[in-house]
Amino acid sequence: MSKLGKVWLVGAGPGDPGLFTRKGREVLAKADVIVYDRLVNPGILLAARPGVLWIDAGKTPRGKRMEQGEIHRNLIRYARKGMRVVRCKGGDPFVFGRGGEEAEALWKAKIPFEVVSGVTAGIAAPAYAGIPVTQRGVSTELSFRLGSRAEGSVHGKTLVGYMSVEVLEEFLQAARDRGFSSQTPAAIVQQGTTHCQKVVIGTVRNLAALAKKSQIRPPAVVVVGDVVNLRKNLQWWEKRKLAGKRIVLTGSEQLGQGWREVLEEHGAEVWEIPMGTIEAIPPQPSWRAKIRRANWLVFTSAAAARLFPTIVGDWRLLGGCKFAAVGKMNAKVLSSIGIEADWIGRGPGSRELAEGWPKWATGKVLHLTGSAGDGSFVQRLRKKGVQAERLVVYRNTAHRSIQRPVQEALRREGADWVVFASGSAAVRFRKVMPKGVGKMKVLAIGPATARTAKSVGWRVKSIATEPSAMGVLRAILKAT
């Protein structure tokens, strides 16, 4: 039986592509199947990759329409085939978008799903017309209604309260005055959608007491109505393996490519705070001669491998040259540019590569690396009698500071994990965050990075054996 896929219920917003969320765009770009509505701006769908399967689920008044049951069957059918299915809907999927019904169908079919909220037209359209839906001294209450066909709970309505924590008892009394009974389900959601999200469920009668017991603090939103009962089946946020975890990635964009997306898919809140930038050095005339003389070209970083086509220029220079990579992921990057490694060393770092250098790999070795390296790989090979030379092909430029609000948030709230993909990142992060974040658990990519991190005072909780998104994920899950 094939691996089970997943469904994303994505809100495409009210029409302006600029209001489509970053997360929605990323999910759309990875989809195998996209089930879309008539109200989705086609410009948004340009983010999809080639070869995706399109399913038009639009409903036209007195025209063509796909019945809701068929939509459910399509979502379930393709997810069971192991595919990534995106249900793209205008506005927000849970605001008159029948997203709740689709989520229930997926839950009953045991299909994993995720909700990607969108900007709802009920707020955005008036805003674009210059009309605020709330205004101090003019309007202090907001309710949504579906035309004249409102259906649902006994009252047919839901009451949503903003900034109501400090006056929760008064808010709940106002709900009674509007016709909600003391037994009406009620919930309060603290810091919703963040890694600090906290949910308390009760009734109009006891929610205030439960919130006080759970130490609920602003910001929080209060929801009153029978829709609260749907949470029992439709809660999805808490079920992901890294839900409630904040993870800081310190690698450069080039080094940590795709890491954030994998961690976010498993529920983490990810902050990318790069401690360096990879900047390619313009190829020098002397490089080609060095490459031509080399018997082995060695890659210990993904950045050098990705830059290699630009560096070499004329592939005929390679002749009978062989290639070595540190670890399977480095070899995979080489493969992506059309080069299969002749030898894959035991990873994850250059030290392990040098220690395991095979005796049959003879001849001149050229190590293509970055400016942050210390040349220890070449030195170790030379001690073994190997002719080795270092060629710096990119600069690893340090970031000297972190935005003040980010620093303050880290000192105030901290993070669960900080990931160092290099020793230089560990050292630089310590310099820009010298105090207040020492309790964060550290994940190091390889033993060499771990040793450097420990030397500047970080508590290394886990060491990834593979410099990849999945390597980071596995190491965190193992240590969590």
Q: Average the pLDDT over 142-153 and give the result.
A: 61
CATH number of the structural domain spanning residue 56: 3.40.1010.10
Measure the CA angle with vertex 82, ends 81 and 84; round to 5°. 115
Reported confidence tier of residue 255, pLDDT bands at 50, 70, 90: low
177 in catalytic set: no
Q: What confidence score (pLDDT) does residue 143 get?
A: 82
Residues 40 and 113 in one domain: yes
How many domains does the structure of the chain reveal?
Answer: 4
359 in catalytic set: no
pLDDT tens digits, 9-50: 999 999 889 999 999 999 999 999 999 998 899 999 999 999
Query: 179, 211, 234 — which closes off a domain?
Result: 234
Burial (CB count <10 Å: 0-12, 13-18, 19+), residue 446: buried
State the residue range of the domain holding 96.
6-123
In the set 6, 23, 30, 59, the catalytic residue is: 59
3-state secondary structure 264-316: HHCCCEEEECCCEEEEECCCCHHHHHHHHHCCEEEECCHHHHHHHHHHHCCHH
pLDDT tens digits, 402-438: 878 888 888 888 899 999 988 889 998 988 886 656 5
Residues 65 and 33 in one domain: yes
In the set 16, 163, 213, 241, the catalytic residue is: 163
From residue 26, alpha-carbon distances to 31, 48, 68 in Å are 9, 9, 26
pLDDT greater than 60 at residue 151 = no
314 in catalytic set: no
Reported confidence tier of residue 300, pLDDT bands at 50, 70, 90: confident
Query: 88, 123, 158 — which closes off a domain?
Result: 123
Q: What confidence score (pLDDT) does residue 148 get?
A: 46
Residue 239 in any domain: the answer is: no
pLDDT tens digits, 204-222: 999 999 999 999 999 999 9
Residue 129 in any domain: the answer is: no
Provide the CA 7 distance to its chain's centre, in angstroms.
16
From residue 75, alpha-carbon distances to 2, 35, 105, 294 in Å are 16, 8, 9, 54
Please say whether the beta carbons of 398 and 375 come within 8 A.
no
CATH number of the structural domain spanning residue 255: 3.40.50.10090
